[in-house]
């Protein structure tokens, strides 16, 4: 699937910096230490599309998700929905936006208030946005959405508390909670990483079915590129606050162009025999640097096995096309 | 609401706590009608009100205990005697009141006090008939009685000479050794007149009658409602203190104030502390900074000097005191609530709520505050006894409200006047026990409420 | 093959909770040879961590070993006293890298202090002086691929991967024969995970170690394990070699089969991700027959009534499943 022409959601040069507590010496010297969690990200999300945002810890994917759901505000850049800018808006526009963009959190044990019953959890969004004139009407909406996520029979679950449900069931409720407002975009932050392997596919399956039925756009944030393969239409790979590669899922996985993507894919373990006696060759050096001290030039160059001296000196590479709908940010694309 | 109640009845500690609290409330309401001295509330510090009570008398039920050596006289009030009235030819009415009293104890009463009201010049005659048949004339005077004023004739104080006369009439030798200033007249009246009487008198048990005869010289002069206070060694359900006040009355009357002071103050204090703590934590920024500076300021203020100044300007009532305690002690719950709210604010479900679009009010009331309830109840439960005792210490300095009676005050009087050293346990234990009981009932209530409000503690 | 390093027979570990007795490990038997990586696969609640803690007799309270035997080079260690275990077995012969070990490094001590503490706790008969301890620490820090100055650092100054290497170094310190690793790479990023797995393999050869490698991820197990035991609801479902499970024929136990199908793979475009509906049984009141019967698509009446024994289908491949035994019989004949 190519990048959509009429995107539901578009990010334009979005940045997020966090100031860091400094030691006295640094303050005196005037050093400004900032964590560049998200450092110039732009992409489009189409209608009914599932975009995977893949990266390791500290790459900024969660921060990006939180900016999209307006839990934090970007330091600079714009977030545009249906062509209308929503960064910096407040009041009614903000409330309307919140109805359209919802989030599923990683930890099913923490994202539901343990004191609430399931009916309260699902009623909360309705009450916040004044949907449903009467209790009965709200209950109807709640039952409908519970059926969508296959929590049936509904009666059995309405009066339970979260700790009486399994991890998978809780994620279903969390999904139901996002769906009840009929949003346009759902940001799912590692929705299955804390769920048992044997249930993961079930939850992803359910999410995909719902997504297709309601033509939702889904931003699937994960560090596990293997599940992304089953779930997403396109993948964006993030490194240290930037997108280094983006394209159709199968293409990025089968023909990765950016050295980081290649290293990532090389590193994944597969359930195949014959690996025990062999060491995995990883085309990558060292460890992820701190987001407060981003390397000069191409930020990946200290770890890149293909790096040349120019990679450190020249300005940071931008995303350039390597195929239809497939972009990578590397100076040496043609050579490697 | 109904399901809340259904949940609540399942938890035994909660019911115990509620039961104790209800018992307290009921006692506070019906108290004035069951105490022996109903008007004690207004007269707690009035010495004359209590003058007929025995001083530092243990409770009456210690007589029933097997290890009590000599059983003391139970203080009692002899009222509504039968009386006869004879009108003589001269127009003078002779009114004779006869009081019956059964004396079974090993120790004689401390005093007999004849109380009455009347008007005008009234000759009064008081005599005692003993079980051994001897009559003792005790008092014969002509009184000038002012209307509306309670009159008292204390046998022990006023009748020493008559008692010596009585003894002399029956046993000259015994009477010779008696000094009117040193004897205990009532003690002699109730002892056998045998040679052991001066040193170790033997109790003369049996039926006694006391006859009070008043002569009404004309219709304007009146004599009303005589009663006799038998001042004994034991008195009341909980004894008396060194100021002769009935402790039981004090305790019961104090319930109301304990409830008011305890509940009101602790609720207000915790409420203010919690609200401010949550606001500071949730809103952060300037609000946080301001409230934390306010906290530091109030926290460091010395309460007592402040109270002294206030009381020099205004006359403190219990309500002023409650307000001041709240103004100072909201800092107690503030800091822990602040740090707890800071943590709760970072919880994923709070973030989820905000992502849904919830306003700060909703997040605070539906997500943050409920988690603070267990702690709040714990603080409330623990502050109830603390506040009661604090009020007592304040009362000691003369800054308290002297128009009311509180357990703290009773306790303070007791400890201050050496009740412990003098072994007056009935004065110390009851108020302390009551304070502890009230604190306990709140603690139980708090535990039950916490279990209901925090579902994870549910064992089902 | 020489005598196995560790023999576990019919191990039972139960948790005595107020709600009842949780039969976390309910009769598990396996063997680990010297120089072998033995993989233990299971999901949450399968009993894999309990199994591991049983080997060192450090179950989380209120747990207790209630039956079975554990033989370390032929010597029974289940009955040993705590003192003897600490002096003679724990850390010196069997050590453990706990789940989330990298996060349980006490933040107020330097790495040097943490490692020195382990040395003191378990040195037992050998008394090393400060210089000797220092030398030993440097050697192992180097062995796990860390520079010597890490010894002077505090845990929060190190990355996740570095902390995990430190945890491994601490486990190797007293030169044990068997190292139990409980989910050593689960919390790590994919690249770091690959590096740590490489390290684990290298160390195995250099120090001739045996591993008990516990994980819920079959793909990771495929990477390191010579033989694998799959646990479900407190019992062993299947024990087989790497090739037998991940090779052509595939696993024989339905649970392993389904678990393998549920494991995502990057390069098999045709593969559909499977899932297993339902949930594991209650371990306080486990079902009568095969514990997986309720979720098994091939379950028959017999499976629900009678618990299948662990049977040998072929050399090195053991399954506890009525269907597998039936299928196996067909194969052999």
Tokens at C133, concatenated? 């301890």
pLDDT of res. B458: 41
Specify whether B310 is located in the same domain as B382. yes
Starting from the edge strand earliest in sequence, which strands make up the sheet with A242-248, in order? A101-104, A185-189, A217-222, A50-54, A234-239, A242-248, A326-328, A320-323
Q: B: neighbours with 3+ CB pairs under 8 Å?
A: A
Within 8 A of A266 by CB-CB distance, chain C residues are 194
* Of B227 and B401, more confident: B227
Size of interface A-B (CB pairs under 8 A): 61
Q: Which of B57-66, B404-413, B424-433 has the highest mean pLDDT?
A: B424-433
Closest Cβ opposite residue A115 in set B355, B358, B454: B454
Specify whether C185 is located in the same domain as C82. yes
- The answer to whether residue C321 is domain-embedded is no
List, for residues A294-310, the tens digit of each pLDDT value.
888 899 999 999 888 88
Q: A: neighbours with 3+ CB pairs under 8 Å?
A: B, C
Strand partners, A327: A246, A321
Specify whether B259 is located in the same domain as B327. yes
Closest Cβ opposite residue C219 in set A230, A263, A269: A269
Contact A200 C220 (CB under 8 A): no
Contact B352 A125 (CB under 8 A): no
What ranges do the domains of chain A cover?
A: 9-271+282-328
A84–chain C nearest CA distance, Å: 37
Phi, psi of B91 (to 5 degrees): 90, -5
Contact A128 B359 (CB under 8 A): yes
Size of interface A-C (CB pairs under 8 A): 131
Contact C273 A230 (CB under 8 A): yes
Within 8 A of A70 by CB-CB distance, chain B residues are 355
- The answer to whether residue C305 is domain-embedded is no
Running DSSP on this structure, what letter comes out for residue C90?
B
Specify whether C130 is located in the same domain as C71. no
Within 8 A of A267 by CB-CB distance, chain C residues are 190-191, 193-194
CA distances from A294 to A38, A76, A239, A312 (A): 11, 18, 11, 12
- Among B322, B437, B317, smallest CA distance to B385 is for B437
| ipTM score over 0.85, yes or no | yes
- The answer to whether residue B54 is domain-embedded is no
Contact B356 A107 (CB under 8 A): no
A260–chain C nearest CA distance, Å: 10
List, for residues A242-291, the tens digit of each pLDDT value.
999 999 999 999 999 999 999 999 999 999 998 998 899 899 988 888 88
Q: Are C240 and C318 in contact (CB under 8 A)?
A: yes
Specify whether B205 is located in the same domain as B298. no
Answer whether the bond into residue C258 is a cis peptide, omega within 30°.
no
Specify whether B135 is located in the same domain as B265. no
A118–chain B nearest CA distance, Å: 13
Specify whether C111 is located in the same domain as C129. yes
d(CA B154, CA B171): 25
CA distances from A283 to A267, B25, B66, C194, C279 (A): 9, 78, 95, 11, 40
Q: Which residue has the tokens 């243990």?
A: B58
Within 8 A of C263 by CB-CB distance, chain A residues are 197, 271
A136–chain C nearest CA distance, Å: 31
- The answer to whether residue B150 is domain-embedded is yes
Contact A102 B356 (CB under 8 A): yes
Specify whether B332 is located in the same domain as B451. yes
Phi, psi of C296 (to 5 degrees): -85, 130
Tell me if chain A has a CB within 8 Å of the CB of C1. Answer: no
Specify whether B453 is located in the same domain as B340. yes
Contact B366 A107 (CB under 8 A): no
Specify whether C170 is located in the same domain as C183. no
A262–chain B nearest CA distance, Å: 34
Specify whether B327 is located in the same domain as B381. yes
CATH of the domain at C275: 3.40.50.300
CA A228 to chain centre: 11
Tell me if chain A has a CB within 8 Å of the CB of C216. Answer: yes
d(CA C160, CA C175): 24
Specify whether C187 is located in the same domain as C200. yes
pLDDT of res. C39: 95
Contact A174 B352 (CB under 8 A): yes
Contacts (Cβ under 8 Å, ≥6 apart) of B316:
B307, B310, B399, B400, B401
CATH of the domain at B291: 1.10.3720.10
Specify whether B123 is located in the same domain as B7. no
Within 8 A of C277 by CB-CB distance, chain A residues are 202
Specify whether C252 is located in the same domain as C278. yes
Determine how β-strand B76-78 pairs with β-strand B222-231. Answer: antiparallel
List, for residues A75-89, the tens digit of each pLDDT value.
999 999 988 888 888
Contact A270 C219 (CB under 8 A): yes
Tokens at A23, concatenated? 């030691």
How would you classify residue C91: left for phi > 0, otherwise alpha for psi between -120 and 50, otherwise beta?
left
Tell me if chain C has a CB within 8 Å of the CB of A134. Answer: no
A124–chain C nearest CA distance, Å: 29
- Nearest chain A residue to C38 by CA: give it: A276
- The answer to whether residue B58 is domain-embedded is no
Specify whether C222 is located in the same domain as C212. yes
Q: Are B125 and B140 in contact (CB under 8 A)?
A: yes
Q: Are B337 and B372 in contact (CB under 8 A)?
A: yes
Specify whether C111 is located in the same domain as C84. no
Q: Are C161 and C188 in contact (CB under 8 A)?
A: yes
pLDDT of res. A29: 67
Whole-number average pLDDT of chain A: 89
C8–chain A nearest CA distance, Å: 24
A142–chain C nearest CA distance, Å: 23
Domain boundary among B231, B259, B278: B231
- Among B204, B28, B183, smallest CA distance to B105 is for B204
Residues 116-155 of C with CB under 8 A from A: none
Tell me if chain A has a CB within 8 Å of the CB of C36. Answer: no
Rg (CA), chain C: 21
- Nearest chain C residue to A274 by CA: give it: C243
Closest Cβ opposite residue C191 in set A270, A272, A284: A284
CATH 3.40.50.300 for the A9-271+282-328 domain, yes or no = yes
Specify whether C193 is located in the same domain as C219. yes
B267–chain A nearest CA distance, Å: 23
Q: Where are the alpha helices (DSSP H) in chain A?
A: 24-29, 61-68, 91-100, 118-128, 135-148, 154-158, 167-179, 197-214, 225-231, 249-254, 259-267, 309-313
Closest Cβ opposite residue A271 in set C201, C218, C243: C218
Domain that holds residue B377: 2-32+247-457
Within 8 A of A264 by CB-CB distance, chain C residues are 190-191
Domain boundary among C120, C151, C175: C175
How would you classify residue B339: left for phi > 0, otherwise alpha for psi between -120 and 50, otherwise beta?
alpha
Closest Cβ opposite residue A98 in set B349, B356, B371: B356
A104–chain C nearest CA distance, Å: 20
Exposed (0-12), middle (13-18) or buried (19+): which is C74, by Cβ within 10 Å?
exposed
- The answer to whether residue B236 is domain-embedded is no
- Nearest chain B residue to A68 by CA: give it: B355
B354–chain A nearest CA distance, Å: 7
Tokens at C153, concatenated? 């650092």
- The answer to whether residue B342 is domain-embedded is yes
Specify whether C131 is located in the same domain as C260. no
SS3 A260: helix
Answer whether the bond into residue C62 is a cis peptide, omega within 30°.
yes
Specify whether B22 is located in the same domain as B82. no
Q: C: neighbours with 3+ CB pairs under 8 Å?
A: A
Domain boundary among B231, B258, B283: B231
Domain boundary among B163, B198, B231: B231
Q: Which of B16-30, B58-72, B369-383 has the highest mean pLDDT?
A: B16-30
- The answer to whether residue B56 is domain-embedded is no
- The H or E element containing residue B408 is helix B407-416
Its pTM stands at 0.76
Specify whether C195 is located in the same domain as C139. no
Domain that holds residue C122: 102-175
- Nearest chain A residue to B371 by CA: give it: A115
Residues 233-292 of A with CB under 8 A from C: 250, 253-254, 263-276, 279-280, 282, 284, 287-288
Domain total of chain B: 2
- The answer to whether residue C326 is domain-embedded is no
Q: Where are the alpha helices (DSSP H) in A30-88?
A: 61-68
SS3 A286: coil
Specify whether C41 is located in the same domain as C165. no
B256–chain A nearest CA distance, Å: 36
- Nearest chain A residue to B357 by CA: give it: A98
Residues 80-119 of A with CB under 8 A from C: none
Domain total of chain C: 2
List, for residues A9-52, the tens digit of each pLDDT value.
999 999 999 887 666 666 666 666 788 999 999 999 999 999 99
How long a stretch of residues is chain C?
333
Report the pLDDT averaged over residues B203-226: 84
Most B-contacting residue of A68, A90, A114 (CB-CB within 10 A), to test interface:
A114
- B contact set with A (CB within 8 A): 347-349, 351-359, 362, 366-367, 370-371, 453-456
Average pLDDT per 10 consecutive residues for chain C, totaling 333 residues? 84 91 93 94 90 90 90 88 84 87 84 83 63 84 90 88 90 89 89 93 92 94 95 94 92 93 88 88 90 91 90 89 74 37
- The H or E element containing residue C137 is helix C130-143
- The answer to whether residue C247 is domain-embedded is yes
Closest Cβ opposite residue A112 in set B349, B370, B371: B349
Tokens at B440, concatenated? 């306990």
List, for residues B254-269, the tens digit of each pLDDT value.
888 888 888 888 889 9
């Amino acid at each position: 699937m190519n990048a959509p022409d009429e995107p539901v959601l578009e990010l334009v040069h979005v940045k997020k910096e966090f100031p860091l507590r400094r030691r006295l010496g640094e303050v005196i010297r005037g050093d400004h230490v900032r964590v560049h969690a998200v450092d110039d990200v732009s992409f489009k999300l189409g209608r009914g599309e599932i975009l995977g945002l893949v990266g390791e810890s500290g790459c900024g994917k969660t921060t990006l998700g939180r900016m999209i759901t307006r839990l934090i505000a970007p330091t600079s850049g714009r977030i545009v929905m249906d062509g209308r800018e929503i960064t910096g808006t407040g009041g009614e526009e903000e409330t309307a936006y919140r109805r359209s963009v919802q989030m599923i959190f990683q930890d099913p044990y923490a994202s539901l208030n343990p004191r609430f019953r399931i009916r309260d959890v699902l009623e909360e969004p309705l009450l916040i946005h004044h949907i449903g004139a009467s209790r009965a009407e709200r209950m109807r909406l709640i039952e409908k959405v519970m059926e969508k996520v296959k929590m049936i029979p509904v009666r059995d679950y309405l009066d339970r508390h979260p700790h009486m449900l399994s991890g998978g069931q809780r994620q279903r409720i969390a999904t139901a909670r996002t769906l009840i407002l009929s949003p346009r975009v759902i940001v799912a932050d590692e929705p299955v990483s804390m769920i048992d392997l044997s249930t993961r596919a079930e939850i992803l399956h359910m999410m995909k079915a719902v997504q297709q039925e309601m033509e939702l756009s889904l931003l699937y944030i994960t560090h596990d590129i293997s599940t992304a393969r089953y779930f997403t239409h396109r993948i964006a790979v993030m490194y240290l606050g930037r997108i280094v590669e983006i394209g159709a899922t199968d293409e990025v996985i089968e023909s990765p162009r950016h050295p980081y993507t290649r290293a990532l894919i090389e590193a994944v373990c597969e359930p195949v025999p014959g690996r025990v006696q062999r060491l995995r060759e990883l085309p990558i050096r060292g460890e992820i640097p701190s987001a407060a001290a981003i390397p000069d030039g191409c930020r990946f160059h200290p770890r890149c096995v293909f790096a040349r001296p120019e990679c450190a000196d020249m300005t940071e590479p931008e995303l350039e096309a390597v195929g239809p709908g497939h972009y990578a940010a590397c100076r040496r694309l043609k050579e490697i | 609401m109904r399901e809340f109640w259904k949940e609540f009845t399942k938890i035994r500690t909660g019911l115990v706590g509620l039961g104790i609290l209800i018992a307290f409330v009921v006692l506070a309401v019906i108290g004035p009608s069951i105490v022996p001295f109903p008007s004690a509330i207004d007269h707690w510090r009035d010495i004359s009100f209590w003058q007929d009570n025995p001083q530092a008398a243990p409770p009456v039920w210690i007589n029933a205990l097997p290890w009590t050596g000599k059983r003391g006289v139970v203080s009692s009030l002899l009222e509504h005697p039968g009386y006869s009235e004879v009108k003589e030819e001269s127009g003078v009415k002779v009114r004779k009141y006869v009081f019956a009293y059964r004396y079974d104890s090993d120790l004689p009463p401390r005093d007999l006090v004849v109380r009455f009201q009347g008007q005008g010049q009234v000759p009064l005659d008081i005599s005692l008939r003993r079980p051994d048949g001897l009559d003792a004339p005790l008092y014969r005077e002509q009184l000038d009685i002012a209307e509306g004023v309670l009159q008292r004739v204390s046998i022990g104080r006023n009748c020493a000479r008559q008692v010596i006369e009585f003894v002399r009439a029956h046993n000259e030798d015994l009477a010779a050794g008696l000094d009117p200033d040193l004897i205990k007249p009532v003690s002699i009246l109730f002892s056998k007149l045998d040679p052991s009487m001066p040193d170790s008198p033997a109790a003369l048990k049996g039926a006694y009658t006391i006859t009070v005869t008043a002569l009404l010289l004309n219709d304007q002069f009146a004599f009303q409602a005589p009663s006799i206070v038998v001042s004994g060694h034991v008195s009341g359900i909980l004894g008396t203190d060194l100021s002769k006040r009935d402790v039981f009355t004090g305790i019961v009357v104090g319930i109301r104030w304990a409830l008011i002071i305890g509940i009101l103050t602790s609720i207000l204090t915790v409420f203010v502390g919690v609200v401010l703590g949550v606001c500071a934590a949730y809103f952060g920024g300037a609000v946080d900074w301001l409230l934390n500076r306010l906290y530091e300021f109030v926290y460091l203020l010395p309460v007592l000097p402040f109270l002294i100044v206030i009381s020099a300007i205004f006359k403190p009532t219990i309500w002023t005191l409650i307000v001041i305690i709240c103004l100072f002690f909201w800092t107690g719950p503030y800091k822990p609530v602040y740090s707890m709210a800071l943590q709760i604010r970072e919880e994923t479900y709070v973030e989820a709520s905000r992502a849904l679009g919830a306003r700060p009010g909703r997040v605070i009331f539906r997500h943050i505050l409920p988690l603070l309830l267990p702690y709040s109840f714990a603080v409330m439960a623990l502050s109830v006894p603390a506040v009661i005792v604090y009020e007592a210490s304040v009362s000691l300095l003369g800054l308290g409200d002297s128009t009311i009676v509180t357990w703290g005050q009773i306790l303070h009087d007791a400890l201050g006047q050496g009740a412990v050293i003098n072994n007056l346990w009935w004065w110390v234990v009851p108020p302390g026990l009551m304070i502890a009981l009230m604190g306990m009932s709140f603690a139980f209530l708090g535990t039950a409420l916490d279990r209901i409000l925090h579902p994870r503690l549910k064992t089902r | 093959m020489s005598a196995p390093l560790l023999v576990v027979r019919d191990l039972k570990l139960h948790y005595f909770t107020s709600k009842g007795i949780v039969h976390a490990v309910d009769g598990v038997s396996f063997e680990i040879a010297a120089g072998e990586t033995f993989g233990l696969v299971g999901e949450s609640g399968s009993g894999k961590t309990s199994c591991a803690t049983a080997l060192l007799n450090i179950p989380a309270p209120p747990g207790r070993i209630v039956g079975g035997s554990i033989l370390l080079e032929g010597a029974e260690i289940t009955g040993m006293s705590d003192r003897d275990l600490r002096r003679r077995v724990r850390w010196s012969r069997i050590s453990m890298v706990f789940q989330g070990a990298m996060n349980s490094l006490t933040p107020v001590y330097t790495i040097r202090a943490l490692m020195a503490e382990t040395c003191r706790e378990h040195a037992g008969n050998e008394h090393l002086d400060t210089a000797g301890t220092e030398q030993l620490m440097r050697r192992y820090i180097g062995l796990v691929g860390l520079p010597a100055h890490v010894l002077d650092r505090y845990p929060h100054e190190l990355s996740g991967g570095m902390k995990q290497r430190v945890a491994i170094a601490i486990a190797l310190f007293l030169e044990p024969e068997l190292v139990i690793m409980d989910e050593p790479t689960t919390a790590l990023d994919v690249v770091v995970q690959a590096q740590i797995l490489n390290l684990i393999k290298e160390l195995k050869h250099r120090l001739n170690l045996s591993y008990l490698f516990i994980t819920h991820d079959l793909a990771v197990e495929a990477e390191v394990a010579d033989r694998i035991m799959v646990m479900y609801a407190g019992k062993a479902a299947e024990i087989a070699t790497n090739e037998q499970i991940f090779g052509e024929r595939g696993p024989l136990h339905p649970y392993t089969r389904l678990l393998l199908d549920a494991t995502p793979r990057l390069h098999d475009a045709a593969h559909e991700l499977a899932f297993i509906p339902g949930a594991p049984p209650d371990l306080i009141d486990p079902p009568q027959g095969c514990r997986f019967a309720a979720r098994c698509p091939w379950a028959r009446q017999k499976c629900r009534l009678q618990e299948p024994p662990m049977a040998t289908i072929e050399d090195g491949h053991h399954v506890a499943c009525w269907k597998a035994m039936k299928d196996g019989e067909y194969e052999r004949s």
